Structure 1
Amino acid sequence: MRYQALLQVVGFWLLASSCAEAAAPISPPTGAVVRYGLCAQRDRVSYTQPQSTAGYATTGLLQLSETTTDVPLRKGVGFGFVWKANNLPARPVVTYRVEHPSITRPDGVTLDHFEEDLQEDSVNGSIETIDCYILSEDHELVPGQWTLSVFFRGSLLAKKIFRVYESKL
């Protein structure tokens, strides 16, 4: 009798836990680029980022203007995208990755990419935000393919390739 009661309890527990999982499936994170193009930044604040091509990074208000993947190679020109993602935890740490042609900084360090992990805030598991790269320093003015990507725990959420070209101005 005790054995039968134990089996009923275990069976009920298994049934309840499988129903709970079926009711709330755990989905992998998904993401996409919403808009892209040239980007401007206002109210800029810098912080040290020794892994970046400039040696620092900036925060501030970002706004996309012209929709394009062709970027004129000029100091102060920015490019990037608005991206969104779903099925994330409340405070996910996302990895921003910038890949670019080989750049040698004034300190002699040569880079072809850099990454930065930043904690974001999600609302009900979702994020929609903007990420841009601003050509700020003379040594960053290198034409070629530049790729901006966003990852969560190694899974790609958003990616866009830009062609930075020598402009005649």
Structure 2
Amino acid sequence: MLAAIDWNQVLAKAVTGGIIGVVAGTCVGLVWYLVPKSNENKQERAGATGRAGPPAKALPPLVLFFFIAAVTFVPFVVEKPLLNALRVRVSGDATAPTVTISDYGRYRVAGPDRTAPGGANAGESEYVLLEQTDQVPCRAGETWGIRIRGSVAPQDDRSHLVREEIHHPPIKHPDGSVRTTDAREFRTPPGAAFGSMNCWQFLKGHEHELVPGDWTWVVFVDGVEVARRTFKVWK
């Protein structure tokens, strides 16, 4: 029975109702506070001069018009961006992308090897899994990392920002700079499943990258961590 409930619609109605309540309550409270104050000030001034003040005027129709327009229009302006921000952060949200690490470990690259320092960037299909393990020898020629798969709900027609980070021990580069993190980002096609291969290759000629210790891959979707895997690089 619960599976038939569209919780996003429930969330949308709750957010809309909450916004209308806040806007309406604020406006009514402000009017409720200001009108008596204005009348009190007029009466005080009339008492000080000994003259009776004019009767309090009713709220002008134009003010009522803008009040009703604000209560009606504002929620529809802010509802969609607010919901988009909430969707990937609400636990159990049916439209949040589901990301899994489909495989990880040591790979063989069927295509051309990387020729520059940093993460490997060959085509995803060119990586062949040799061994699923989190233990990696610290030697030139090793390629290791993770492959992720992302799926989206049928009603999700949004594009998502995927960020992949590699946190590693300090690597001192030939130019003297030191890095502990490498990252890349990409956007998914709207409403489509996605996949990514994120590996590191130890290459000859780049021996400064041969640093043992914990190397951790972290994946984020729209700023929310969705996957993590740590490798032990040993000598």
TM-score with structure 1 length normalisation? 0.68
CA distance in 2, matches of 1:33, 1:155: 16
Amino acid at match of 1:29: P
Q: Is 1:66 aligned with 2:135?
A: no
Q: Please say if 1:40 is aligned against 2:105.
A: no
Gaps of 5+ in 2: 1-71, 73-92
Match of 2:171 among 78, 86, 103: 103
- Does structure 2 retain, via aligned residues, the 8 Å contact 1:85–1:127? yes
Give the one of 133, 140, 152 matched to 1:75: 140
Misfit runs of 4+, over 4 Å:
45-48, 88-91
Greater fraction of residues in helix: 2
Aligned partner of residue 149 in structure 1, secondary structure = strand
How many percent identity over aligned positions?
27
Q: Which has the higher contact order (CA 8 A, sep 6+)?
A: 1
Going from structure 1 to structure 2, the CA distance change for 1:145 and 1:41 (only over 3 Å counts) comes to: same
- Native 8 Å contact 2:118 2:182 kept in 1: no
SS of residue paired to 1:65: strand
| 1:41–1:92 distance in 2 versus 1, CA, 3 Å | farther
Choose 125-134 or 55-64, whichever is displaced more. 55-64
Q: How many residues align?
A: 137
Larger strand share, 1 or 2: 1
2:231 aligned with 1:162, yes or no?
yes
The answer to whether residue 198 in structure 2 is matched with residue 135 in structure 1 is no
Gaps of 5+ in 1: 1-9, 11-24, 49-53
Using the size of structure 2 for normalisation, the TM-score is 0.51
Partners of 2:185 and 2:222 in 1: how far apart?
Answer: 10
1:149 lines up with 2:218 in the alignment? yes
